[in-house]
Structures are given as C-alpha cells and as structure tokens.
C-alpha cells in the first residue's frame, strides 16, 4: 500500500502530509513509497496463506481496564498473527506502531529472544473511530490491520 516512509527510522505515516517524524523526530525526511506496507482487508479467520497468518495484526478490545480503574479506559491488545510469529534474532517482529484515526499515537519496539510480538495501549474511553496498527517483520516487511471502536 502507498504511504509516506521516514528515510531515517522507517516509520510509515498514514497521513498524506508529514513534516517531522513522530518517532525519530527527524525533519523533512519522508518519501512516498508504493509498497510502504502490506494491506489486505481480510477476515483473519478465513486467511489460508501461512505468511499472512503469521503477520497480520490481530486485535482484542477490552472495555474495562484494571491498570487505570479510576478512569474510563479502553484497552487495545494487539498480537502479530493468528499463528504466533517467531521472535528469533534472524526472524522477528521489530516493532508495532499504533494510530488512531490515521494519527500516530505509539511505537513499541521489541527485542528478539526475550519478548513475544504482542502489546497493549490504553486509550481514553471516549475515543471513537479506527485503531490502526502496522507491525514490522525484519524479513517480510510491514503489515497493516485496523479495528473500529465505538
């Protein structure tokens, strides 16, 4: 899928205009790439391709948060792949980038051999729209998925 990519850190913007990278803070370093990430609107349970099963981000929405119980909080859990993705030095997920309604909100980086390719963000409970995620595999590139929240 077409997108702006930071030449310094590889961050993919879901916006058409970007002057400063929100991840590495570099200025005027974006270039348009036709193959910035893999994008397929698929029902994750109907995917037959093993590569897709290991790379497309999968969401779980939790409407009650135990970590921040005094506020309205919406937890968005993300793991990479319906099938567990390897987390070896030679083949791993390096990062997961979160967006809300096409705006960057968080970038989580992973260390192979220690951690699984899964994370969570805690959104304020009044957020509506789409949560989008791009996961990066060091061998198979960037993979996108999104979920609607209400």
How confident is the model at residue 93, as a pLDDT?
A: 98
The CATH superfamily of 39-149 is SOR catalytic domain (2.60.40.730)
Query: Cβ(144)–Cβ(57) under 8 Å?
Result: yes
Could you state, in order of their start, the residue ranges of all structural domains in the chain? 1-36, 39-149
Query: Cβ(12)–Cβ(97) under 8 Å?
Result: yes
How confident is the model at residue 139, as a pLDDT?
A: 95
How confident is the model at residue 63, as a pLDDT?
A: 86
Q: Tokens 């058409």 belong to which residue?
A: 16
Q: What is the token pair recorded at 119? A: 């994370």
Local confidence pLDDT in tens for the 150 residues of the chain:
889 999 999 999 998 888 999 999 999 999 999 999 987 655 555 666 888 889 999 999 998 888 887 778 899 999 999 889 999 999 999 999 999 999 999 999 999 999 999 999 999 988 999 999 999 999 999 999 999 998
Query: Cβ(42)–Cβ(94) under 8 Å?
Result: no
Q: What is the token pair recorded at 148? A: 């609607």
Helices (H), the chain: 50-55
3-state secondary structure of 146: strand
108, 118, 119, 123: which is closest to 63 by C-alpha? 123
Taking the CB of residue 55, how many other CB atoms lie within 10 A of it?
27
């Amino acid at each position: 899928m077409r997108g702006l990519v930071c030449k310094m850190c590889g961050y993919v913007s879901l916006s058409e205009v970007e002057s400063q990278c929100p991840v590495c803070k570099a200025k005027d370093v974006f270039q348009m790439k036709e193959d910035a990430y893999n994008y397929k609107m698929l029902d994750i349970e109907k995917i037959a391709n093993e590569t897709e099963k290991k790379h497309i981000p999968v969401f779980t929405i939790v409407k009650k948060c135990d970590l921040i119980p005094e506020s309205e909080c919406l937890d968005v859990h993300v793991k990479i792949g319906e099938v567990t993705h390897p987390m070896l030095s030679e083949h791993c997920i390096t990062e997961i980038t979160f967006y809300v309604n096409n705006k960057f909100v968080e970038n989580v980086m992973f260390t192979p051999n220690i951690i699984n390719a899964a994370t969570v963000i805690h959104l304020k409970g009044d957020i509506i729209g789409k949560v989008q995620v791009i996961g990066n595999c060091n061998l198979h590139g960037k993979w996108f998925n999104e979920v609607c929240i209400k």
